[in-house]
A and B are shown apart, each in its own frame.
Chain A
Amino acid sequence: MTEVKRNKQILRYLLIAVSLIVGSITTLAQSLKGKVVDSRTQEPIIGAHVSIKGDKNTTAGTTTDIDGKFNINVKHYPTALVVSYTGYNNEEIDVYEVTNDEIEISLNENFNAIENVVVIGYGKQKKADLTGAVSAVSIDNIKNVSTSSFNSALSGTIPGLQVTPTSGQPGGGVSIRVRGGSSVQGGNEPLYVIDGFPIYSDNTSAGATSGSATNPLASINPGDIASITVLKDASATAIYGSRGANGVVIVTTKKGTFNQKTKVSYEGTVGWQSLRKKYDVINAHDFAILRNEVLAVTYPNLGEYQYKSQAEIDALGNGTDWQDEAFRNAFQTNHQLSISGGSDKISYALSGGYYNQDGIIINTDYERLSGRANIFAKVSKSIDVGVNVSLSRSKANVAPSSVVSSIILMPSTATIYEADGSYTLRNPFEMEFSNPIASLKEQTNKNIKSNILATAFSEWEIIKNLKLKVQFGVNSENTKENSYVPSYIYEGSASDGIAKLGFINRYSWLNENTLTYNFGIKDNHFDVLLGFTQQQDHVEIAKTGSSNFVTDKLKSSSLESGSITLTPSSSESENSLISYLGRINYNFKEKYFISASLRTDGSSRFGKDNKWGVFPSVGGSWAVSKEEFFAPVAKTISNLKLRASYGVTGNQEIGNYQSLATLASSSYFFGQKVTCFSPTRISNSKLGWESTAQFDLGIDSDFLNGRLQISADYYYKKTHDLLLSVEIPWTSGFSSSLQNFGSVSNQGFEFAVTSHNFTRKFKWDTSFNISLNRNKVLSLGNGATSYTSGNYIVEVGKPLGTFYGSVTDGILQADEIETKGTYTGLAELVAGDQLYKDINDDGTYTTSGDRTDIGNAQPDFIFGLNNNFEYKGFDLNIQITGQVGNKLFNQNAQYLALYTGQQNAAAEAVNRYTTSNPSTTLPRAKLDPAPIFSDRFVEDGSFVRVKNLTLGYNFNKKIARSIGLSALRLYVSATNLITLTKYSGFDPEVTSGDNTVSQGTDYGIYPVARSYNFGILLNF
């Protein structure tokens, strides 16, 4: 954003300069040559503004070129030049006489970030003028993180933002919470605004393929991003009205600069990734003993060696290591070519990118080809036009669902292939799941996405500073899913091959019209925004397929060859949003700031009695440091600002048609299929949006001219009229009804420090942020105090994501059968069974009656620590992120702890209870495959990890130039290099989907990888 502002300034000056030159062609002017460099690095500064001081009626000036050089006309001497450049202190140079020598001016870096401009909703603002909680993400810090999509690189970058991958699948999704999740049933993901186009990330699948969904934002090449701003409090987000409650992430892509020579740059990386950690599982020898033991207990009359004889057991070694077979070191590469520049009328930035990432599980990958063109033109003095167009095509081979759990649960006595070379079809024992290696190698399970996101605007400056901007945008996304399950693997064996095709056509258009006017009356400054926007989303989904093929060769490309046609399905839906918005930013002497905004949204998604919502906000700030009384300490505390804001935002992420009693179609059979129609819900014409009232108090302070910056925020968010599937008596024929009921609060602290520790030859910057969020359910409506949802409870007074399960209480010992037997929940009491606490104190343990709160999936705090070092040409970046106090339900471990001999077991199973080893921690082996959710599998999910470590070397400009380049940089980087955690699963950065209620379950999720990359950056 700083770049954009600078461009505008440059433009304005340039235009004046040009007109002046034209107007005073007869005036004799002498030109003065010079060069502007960075005082620390001695590298040239491109685009610095050079002007002549005191020239009242003109602000004649010029900008430095690609070599940092300038050429300015001076009418008379002596004169003084003023040089300015964003991020640097202004410099004044006196020149006394005409000279032909090139004068060198060096600029010192300015750490006073408050002068920076940040992107906000429908505009930009100087950081100093903000009244709300807005955090700009440092692009330098995220660009090194190896990732397919920008939003997965955001963790630890700013306070108040929690980023958790939902799958480590290449191109896989992430779940993001800005200041905690507040919606129980509605969406909790922030609104993304990409170059002015609002997108709510939706990853619906057509259902032809299986496995984790691709991250919809992976279609945006992270290399194209110029800035990311996260709007957190209501003062900032209320302008997005009914979509602002979960925070807003504003992304702008790189633009060209007017009057700039063409810049060409190439950046490329190659690297590889690997699994952090395997599950420790039992070997073939010990598994055989375990299974024999189970069979002997179940069928005592058939003897002790029902599975393998002692001789066979002795011959067994480790068996198949399914994890070694499935995981690999995976290659990845990324290439980006960008061209940017501009004339006085046109600026452009063009880029092309290619990204290819193999997954750490065999036969999974993600490939993306992307292109972008951002072009701006000045069609007249008062009219600007511009377009941002991005195109991308991605292809992902996705791990079919449940293969990850099968990899863990396949016993080591099983082999990948049978003796005859064909695949082992499935787990040979009672638990039925397919051979994961066969599924991975032989299934086609891919999706191909094409995405066009284009916005075009035209801005007319009607009178000075009164601008009308009209913008149109289109986001079109086409997804094709291909699936083929061949006949020779288990999943396809019963149907002789199953082919499916899925199609999703998603189309969204936007029209946005804004009128802005800024003006000053004496010391009062006003910045007014009025707007009208409309957006419509349209989605069509279709799925078809066939099965029973003569051959496996045709896969999904010849559905007519399958003798059985699968029931096709299709759907179409649409939703619309009409909005009116307004905002006034006022300040007095740049000391007192007030910002008030109002948006009214009409959403088609709500009931007919409740379509329109109003979302107001007000924020104020006081630049204390600008008061006279502050002057004595102003040297030390260069900036001190207090902020306060309050406002209301909404959430409309409930899907379409939820207020209507739509009918579902199904079928029955009377000698042939007949159609049935029945209502899917009781209609609720009162259904409305969910609103979040948020109060924020903040302080921003800079010390020692910005060398040290500290900011802190406290917020309290209360979300009420929750879009809640309120449980209703089943006697109504339905389980629940979507209503506006109940409330949830989030409150927390955010704290961020940026420090420029060393600023000379050795440069060291540190930034640190930490956030605490406390989430609490305040009410659930209808007098209800709690309801359970699987392994979770939603209960008034407790946070969302609370695990609800049994509490283990040791192992039943032989002499305890009489006294403690009823605490096993079993009918037949045998020593060695797991004991549980009798929570409801009724003398027996039951799985449904004796559950309690056994931990929460939300962290106590999250933090990020970023260190940048520069010395000579070297730079080193170390990013550490962490999360403390959250619990994870390791469901993988739960299945490995069922010593049934029907599937694999954890290595610790060798220490299980037996009559000769009366263990007090691990139960006996037996045939009871019902997993009981207990505290035993709820683990501490805290971690601290080196998210990124990058070491780079920037070659000296001279060397670069000697090979025809303007810059050359080489670097190595490592992502997720070191992780400290007690969590026993693959990786602690994991969550089960993006539902806030049921977050933090790790079951069969594709693990996040550790990766290493080598990169090169060339500027021509």
Chain B
Amino acid sequence: MTNMKNIGYLFLAGTIALSLSSCVSLDEEPSSSLVAENFYTKEADAISAVNAVYETLHYDAGQSLYNGLIQIGVEMATDDYEAGPRARNSHVRAISNLTHDVSNNRMEELWLESYKAINRANIAIDKISAISPNNISADVQKRLVNEAKFLRALHYFNLIRWFKYIPLVLHETTTLSTESLNIKQATEDEVYEQIISDLKDAEQLPAPDGYSSSDVGRATAGSAKALLSKVYLTRQQWQLAADKAKEVIDTGWYDLFDDFADAFNPATKNGKEHIFSVQYQGYSNYVGNYLAVRSATNEVPGISGENADAYHQESDLYGSFEPTDVRRDISFVTDIVSPVDGKNYHLRVPLLNKYHDENANSNPKESSVNFPYFRYSEILLIYAEALNELNGPTAEAYNAVDKVRSRAGSSKLADVAPALSQDNFRDSVFQERRKEFIYEHQRWFDLSRRGAEYYVKMLKAAGKTQAQPKHIHFPVPQREIDLNPNLKQNPDWE
């Protein structure tokens, strides 16, 4: 009996002990993920934080900025593109038809994805600047902050051109208070001032040869200068644009590839013509260039394209190439040999083909072709355009355009149209940009920066009858206005 009693006391003691000194802790210490509070203390942390800003150019999966979204949300609204036979989303088809409204979800995503990227850049800038000098080398610290600034400028430059009325957020959002969430729109000038200031800081980045091979693809001083020249061009600060373009040319860091095809060749990626590219690598557990599959056919046996982005035939861009111009057949494809049955299939309409990778023939989404955010040919065309605006079509302006045309196998403008007026030369440069950069997310920006009248004229000429002046900007997403009482809609879209 005493034995039983002892068992009983043991019980009681055990229970009391358990309830007093609970062996369970309520503090959460995730073992498989890091927590922001304890991060950003070392150089390696800082590098991974900046890498995360680059990653916003394209996420792994789905439609993110330079992996489909700009194509879908922006380029569809131009004269050269339309929603393909397999574009199943009514929002996308609305953009293509210019019947989109203030709640178009692709435009919402452009806004969201850009601010996501900006928040990551802000985090990198804030946190890396605060790392103790004992834990990071001063050079690396400065470089990383400037890389983040370059990317922040890149995204703000997109946003201001798309939406015009945008809040300027320059620090990480750390609290959920209304003050920190409900930010007012900045003026266009304020935003551009910030873009220019960030890019000026970013000009201190290393030269293209200043990076080791394991850092190739990061923003360089050249990237910053080139983007700065484009910002000035967009702002019609012609002298500054010309000067900055000239500065890039004079660095000697860049040149055109002899073969236009090399600009889209995985073997020559990050080459002498590439000033800044979004990096892709297929078949490697990494991300392939999604644009390659979006525009690829699925009607040829063995090729599983998505056929969702299509060339808008009524613009007749395809027919405007000179027969000797190699760019047409690199940008488009009209005949495909099936990898399955070996037969040649003639396509009903030319398909966009710039990001096609021979090594990913049957599985186009594994394309390793980088997205060329900025190529040297654009610097030449910016230079030509800016010079023309300053002094009319000078020989130097002709020369810059003709470098681009000759490399493509096209005739020289100086030969075929030697005495253009300033207006006609401007149109020629724009047409050159169109041919050179089709599918490189330039067309919408080029159309909109020449103003509403030009945009509407060009779109109507291409059969997009719904085009209106308000379409040179996107509406501020209605959701943002609903959530943030400090935001106002673009008056054109009210």
Chain A residues close to B by CB (< 8 Å): 298-299, 302, 380-383, 426, 430-432, 458, 460, 462, 468, 470, 490, 493-495, 511, 513, 532, 534-536, 564-567, 570-578, 580, 602-605, 608, 611, 656-657, 659-679, 682-684, 727-735, 737, 739, 782, 784, 825-827, 844, 846-849, 902, 927-932
Contact = CB atoms under 8 A, between A and B. Distances in A.
Nearest to A426: B304
A676 B482 contact: no
Interface string B120-134: 101100000000000
Given A572-B32, A656-B28, A929-B86, A784 B298 contact: no
Contacts of B270: 671
B477 interface: yes
Interface in B472-494: 477, 479-480, 482-484, 487
Contact of A846 (B59, B101, B286): B101
Nearest to A427: B298
B29 to A, nearest CB: 8
A677 B34 contact: yes
A784 B363 CA distance: 45
Contacts of B194: none
Contacts of A684: 176
Max chain B CB contacts within 10 Å: which of A299, A577, A670? A670
B103 interface: yes
Contacts of A731: 115, 167, 169, 173, 181, 183, 480, 484
Interface in B7-60: 7-8, 11-12, 14-15, 18-19, 22-28, 30-37, 39, 45, 47-49, 51-52, 54-55, 59-60
Given A298-B85, A430-B299, 11 more contacts: A460-B7, A576-B25, A604-B27, A657-B33, A659-B28, A669-B287, A676-B55, A677-B49, A727-B479, A729-B483, A825-B99
What 7 pairs across the A-B complex have the smallest Cβ distances?
A: A733-B119, A827-B97, A676-B52, A494-B363, A678-B52, A661-B36, A848-B103
Contacts of B34: 662-663, 677
Contacts of B8: 382-383, 460, 462
B280 interface: yes
A849 B103 contact: yes
A487 to B, nearest CB: 12
Contacts of B104: 848
A774 to B, nearest CB: 27
B30 A660 contact: yes
A20 B311 CA distance: 99
B286 A733 contact: no
B217 to A, nearest CB: 5
22 contacts: A468-B11, A564-B283, A564-B285, A572-B32, A657-B33, A661-B36, A662-B36, A669-B279, A673-B285, A675-B51, A676-B54, A676-B55, A677-B49, A729-B181, A730-B477, A731-B183, A732-B181, A733-B118, A782-B483, A826-B99, A827-B97, A827-B99
Contacts of A728: 176, 181, 483
Contacts of B37: 661, 683
Contacts of B366: 494
A580 B24 CA distance: 13
A672 B212 CA distance: 12
Interface string B65-103: 000000000000000000001111111111001111111
B87 A671 contact: no
Contacts of B115: 730-733
Interface centre among B23, B34, B102 (most CB of A within 10 A): B34
Nearest to A574: B31
A927 B310 CA distance: 14
Contact of A603 (B26, B182, B298): B26
Interface in B200-230: 213-218
A973 to B, nearest CB: 44
B15 A929 contact: no
Contacts of A382: 4, 8
B174 interface: yes
Residue in A574, A677, A826 whose Cβ sees the most chain B Cβ within 10 Å? A677
B86 A534 contact: no
Contact of A670 (B7, B49, B102, B279): B279
Contacts of A383: 4, 7-8
B391 to A, nearest CB: 41
Contacts of A735: 112
B290 interface: no
Interface in B242-287: 270, 279-281, 283-287
A357 B252 CA distance: 73
B223 to A, nearest CB: 14
Contact of B51 (A493, A668, A784): A668
B464 interface: yes
